[in-house]
Amino acid sequence: MVGLDTMNAAYVESRGPASSIQYGQVPVPRCGPTDVLVQVEAVAVNAVDTFVRSGAYQTAMPFPFVVGRDLVGTVVACGSGITGFRSGDLVWTNSLGHGGRQGAAAQFAVVAADRLYHAPPGADPVELVAVVHPAATAYLGIVVHGRARAGETVLVAGAAGHVGRAATVFATRVGASVVATASATDLDACRRLGAREAFDYRDPRLGYLLRDAAPDGVDVHLDTSGHHDLELAVELLAQRGRVVVMAGLSEHPGLPVGSLYTRDGRIVGYAISNASTTELAAAAELINELAGEGTLEPGPIEELPLDRAGEAHARLETGQAAGVRLVLRPAHG
Ligand SMILES: NC(=O)c1ccc[n+]([C@@H]2O[C@H](COP(=O)([O-])OP(=O)(O)OC[C@H]3O[C@@H](n4cnc5c(N)ncnc54)[C@H](OP(=O)(O)O)[C@@H]3O)[C@@H](O)[C@H]2O)c1
């Protein structure tokens, strides 16, 4: 047991700007019968954490509300009904901090057992926490909503980003043929992750190059950049192809309606916040397998102490963390 009544946490008293994040003492959460109490080692900072904190993404939040949704940590206590976890286990979750659940950015967090997963043996907490949100997002886009199958063509736009890298790996893993777009300097990295072809998204001939690379059409089009060119995406689509939309919170692109329905095409959107515990657990199984074999690349990481959570949110919102995963580290002892 923890033996403490209070702990340090990064929290807000109401929805507001990054500057409203406070660092201080809140009560240590208590385990219910199906919960696990985790000593937090590392917490990722995601764009969605800023959307929840500001109110841009509306979700139930108990105040004072601890920010953040992903953690890696060590089990310190289990509810009376828990059989699958024991004190000392290294574990992770990626679904705290929304839907009425408290967040992860604290010394301790209570996690419902059906949202908690064992870490792969020997996992580094910081590297693991950096991938669990983008990788689960990629799994949902490629497997659950995109329904990519072996032999299909998957276009991953923004394939060198955090979600895009994992999407390229997952699509390759299901046996699809991946065509990627990214910055010119990242094209080799996309091919190394499994992309059959990779193109500079700034190339003025991009539409022509993509048409040439996918002559039978694109079956799944996942654009992680948020800059949706639906004219091009629908034009590239194979019969019964799927355009998967998961970024660009305030985008309003035009849609070529006739080109979509004459292909029996679909546009499907999703947010990881809506994923079921069954879907998240399926993602976790694959993430653990790939993280265990070192296939999921976390990319550049910057560690910050937990008391700089407000600064981390501000940097993410102002584009001062582009390409870098910010990871918060609570101090213990
Ligand atoms: N729906 C959900 O559940 C969910 C979950 C997680 C994340 N998201 C969202 O997904 C998005 C991506 O997240 P992330 O962490 O992967 O971000 P990221 O690492 O910044 O990746 C975005 C990538 O897009 C590239 N890019 C920019 N403009 C492009 C364009 N016009 N065409 C193709 N690629 C382009 C960027 O390349 P350069 O940097 O080289 O320009 C970058 O590598 C964010 O908007 C995030 O909020 C949604």
Q: Which atom of ligand 1 is nearest to the CA of 271?
A: 3
Q: What is the pLDDT of residues 17-42, one digit of tens each?
A: 999 999 999 999 999 999 999 999 99
pLDDT at 333: 79
pLDDT at 241: 98
Residue to substitute in 59, 168, 225 for testing ligand 1 pocket (most ligand atoms within 8 angstroms of CB): 225
Cα separation, 176 vs 11, in Å, equals: 42
Q: For domain 133-273, say whether CATH 3.40.640.10 is its number.
A: no
Q: How many Å from the N-terminal Cα to the C-terminal Cα in the chain?
A: 15
Query: How many Å lie between the centroid of ligand 1 and the Cα of residue 11?
Result: 26
Which residues of the chain, if any, have pLDDT below 50? Answer: none
Query: How many Å lie between the centroid of ligand 1 and the Cα of residue 225?
Result: 4
Q: Are strands 117-118 and 177-182 parallel, antiparallel or unpaired?
A: unpaired
Q: What is the pLDDT of residues 199-213, one digit of tens each?
A: 999 999 999 999 999
Residue located nearest, by CA, to atom 43 of ligand 1 = 161
Residue located nearest, by CA, to atom 13 of ligand 1 = 163
Residue located nearest, by CA, to atom 9 of ligand 1 = 247
| Residues 99, 100, 103, 108, CA torsion sign | negative
- Residues sharing a CB contact under 8 Å with residue 326, sequence separation 6 or more, in sequence order: 44, 45, 301, 302, 304, 312, 315, 316
Query: How many Å lie between the centroid of ligand 1 and the Cα of residue 111?
Result: 28
CATH architecture of the domain 6-119+300-329 equals Alpha-Beta Complex (3.90)
Query: How many Å lie between the centroid of ligand 1 and the Cα of residue 198?
Result: 16
Cis peptide before 64 (omega within 30 of 0): yes
Q: What is the DSSP letter of 262?
A: T
Query: How many Å lie between the centroid of ligand 1 and the Cα of residue 226?
Result: 6
Query: How many Å lie between the centroid of ligand 1 and the Cα of residue 161?
Result: 6
pLDDT at 2: 67
Q: How far is CA 263 from CA 101, 150, 218, 242, in A?
A: 41, 20, 11, 10
Cα separation, 69 vs 277, in Å, equals: 14
Enumerate the domain spans of the chain: 6-119+300-329, 133-273
pLDDT at 250: 87
pLDDT at 279: 98
Q: Which amino acid is at 159?
A: A
Name every protein residue with a CB atom under 6 angstroms from any ligand 1 atom: 47-48, 134, 137, 157-158, 160-164, 181-183, 201, 224-227, 246-247, 270-272, 322-323
Query: How many Å lie between the centroid of ligand 1 and the Cα of residue 2?
Result: 39
